[in-house]
Amino acid sequence: MTRDAFENAITVVMALGGSTNAVLHLLAIAHAANVELTIDDFNTFQKKVPHLADLKPSGKYVFRDLYSVGGVQAVMKYLYENGYLHGDCMTVTGKTLAENLKDAPSLKEGQKVIMPLEHPKRKDGPLIILHGNLAPDGAVIKVAGLKARRHEGPAKVFDNEEDAIDAAMADEIVDGDVVVVRFVGPKGGPGMPEMLSLSGILVGKGQGETVALLTDGRFSGGSHGFVVGHIAPEAQDAGPIAYLHTGDTVVIDQDTREITMKVSDEEMAKRRKETKIPPLYSRGVLGKYAHLVSSSSEGATTDFWKKD
C-alpha cells in the first residue's frame, strides 16, 4: 500500500461515483498503512477526475450492467490508457497495475454504462469535501446526479435520526429546509450510523433536491439527494454543529466548497457557554470505542496514543 495505490483508488471511486464512505475508509486504511493521506486530498482528485459511470442511485444502470460491459477492470484499463492511473504501482498479484490490466477486457464497444471522457456524466468528480464555520475539519457531499449546486435555508435540528424521521413522516419538513441530524458521529453514535432511512424518505416524498440533509453521521452508497455527511468536528466533540439552532440559516455551496451557518462569532460564544454536551457513552465495547475514536476527517481510527 503506497501513496500511488491510494491515488489510484480515489481516482476509480471518483470515476465510478462511489460512496461517501470511500472517504472514511480510505483515510482509515491509509492511517493503518502509515501512508500520508488527508481529507483534502480528495478534492485534488475531484477537480481532475470526471464522473463517468451512469449508475444508480443517481443514474440509469446497476452494477450488473457494468459487469456485463467489462466490469471495474475495464474501467481501470480505460482510465490507465488515458493517463489517470499509476501503472507502475505494485499490486497484491505481485504484478504492477499495468501488467494486470494488459490482458484485462476493454469496455464493450457501443456500451452506455460508462460515458466517454469526452462527454462525461460530470466533468469533475462527484465527491466534494466542504469546509466552513459549520464544518471546520471538513464534510463530504456526493453530488452525483444533483442538479442543485447551492442550497440556503432554515435549519431544522434533531439530536437523533428517529425524531427527524417522525418529523418527515408528519410533513413537518418543507421545501427549502435544511434537516440536521447530530450526535450520531463516531463518538456520538457511537459508531457513526448511516442515515439511509431518512434520506430515502425525503427522496420518496419528492424532496431529494429541495431539502438538504446534514449530519455528523454518514450515508449508505444507496443514498442520494442533497445530503452532506461526516461533518467534523462532530457534535459530541463540541463541533459547531452542536450549537446550531432550529431556524438558523445554513448555506451549502458545491462551487465554493463551503458549508456555513449564518451565526455570529459572538452568538456562537454565547451558545458554547449555555449548551451542555451530553456525556460520552460509557458501557462495554461501544463505550471504549467512543472514548478512543478520532474524528471522521481522520478516518475514525482508534489509536488512543494519538490523543492529546
Is residue 220 part of the annotated active site? The answer reads yes
Residues 6+ apart with CB under 8 A from 127: 13, 14, 18, 20, 22, 23, 42, 46, 140, 141, 142, 143
Distance CA 214, CA 194 (A): 12
- Is residue 264 classed exposed, middle or buried when 0-12, 13-18 and 19+ CB atoms within 10 A define those classes? exposed
Cα–Cα distances (Å) from 290 to 37, 189, 190, 287, in that order, read 23, 8, 6, 5
Distance CA 209, CA 202 (A): 9
**222's grid cell:** 444507496
Tally of residues, the chain: 308
- Check 58, 220, 294, 295 and give the catalytic one: 220
Long-range CB contacts (< 8 A, 24+ apart) of 57-61? 57/145, 57/222, 57/223, 57/224, 58/17, 58/126, 58/144, 58/145, 58/146, 58/224, 59/17, 59/121, 59/144, 59/145, 61/112, 61/113
Give strand pairing partners of 132.
135
Give strand pairing partners of 260.
251
Q: List the catalytic residues.
A: 220
